[in-house]
């Protein structure tokens, strides 16, 4: 009976640790950078590669915008997209948004994306971008850079 007393706390500890594990995915972009995506938090890991890109963001901005057109599926489900897996181009948008203020409401005037439901981005935004990727890229190219 004495041995059973220590087993329960160990089982609880192990199960809580497994729930907190992150799902890190290395994503190689066509603008010659590899970044780490944490699919459990729907964010980039702010490591050396991310910080180097952030420092050189203005120099790489046009290439990052063009990479939004990359529809390569990453086979990652996310709250960010309701109807499909994330694509490399979606992560390029998220990268831009993490460094620069991107005014989605100005770019998509007439559309309202204001419901979040436990997600970093409004429901339907990335599904809308999926259907209008070329238009989104053209409008982004015209936007003034507004770094955070």
Residue 57 lies in a domain: yes
Residue 72 lies in a domain: yes
Residue 137 lies in a domain: yes
DSSP conformation class of 26:
E
Q: Which domain holds residue 78?
A: 2-142
Residue 148 lies in a domain: no
Residue 24 lies in a domain: yes
| Helical residues (DSSP H) of 1-144, grouped into ranges | 2-19, 48-55, 57-67, 88-99, 104-107, 125-131, 133-142
Backbone conformation region of residue 26, classed left if phi is above 0, alpha if psi is from -120 to 50, else beta: beta
Residue 30 lies in a domain: yes
Confidence of residue 87 (pLDDT cuts 50, 70, 90): very high
Q: Report the predicted TM-score, pTM, of the whole model to 2 decimal places.
A: 0.78
In the block, residue with structure tokens 């702010």? 46
Overall average pLDDT of the 100-126 stretch: 75
What's the total number of domains in the chain? 1
User: What pLDDT is recorded for position 32?
Assistant: 87
Q: Collapsing DSSP states into helix, strand and coil, what is residue 116?
A: coil
């Amino acid at each position: 009976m004495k041995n059973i007393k220590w087993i329960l706390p160990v089982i609880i500890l192990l199960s809580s640790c497994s729930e907190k594990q992150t799902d890190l995915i290395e994503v190689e972009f066509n603008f010659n950078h590899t970044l780490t995506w944490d699919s459990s938090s729907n964010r980039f890991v702010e490591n050396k590669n991310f910080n180097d890109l952030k420092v050189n963001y203005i120099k790489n901005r046009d290439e990052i915008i063009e990479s939004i057109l990359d529809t390569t599926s990453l086979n990652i489900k996310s709250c960010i997209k309701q109807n499909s897996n994330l694509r490399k181009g979606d992560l390029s948008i998220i990268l831009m948004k993490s460094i620069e203020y991107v005014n989605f409401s100005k770019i998509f005037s007439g559309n309202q994306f204001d419901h979040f439901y436990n997600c970093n981005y409004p429901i339907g935004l990335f599904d809308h971008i999926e259907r209008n990727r070329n238009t989104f890229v053209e409008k982004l190219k015209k936007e003034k850079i507004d770094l955070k």
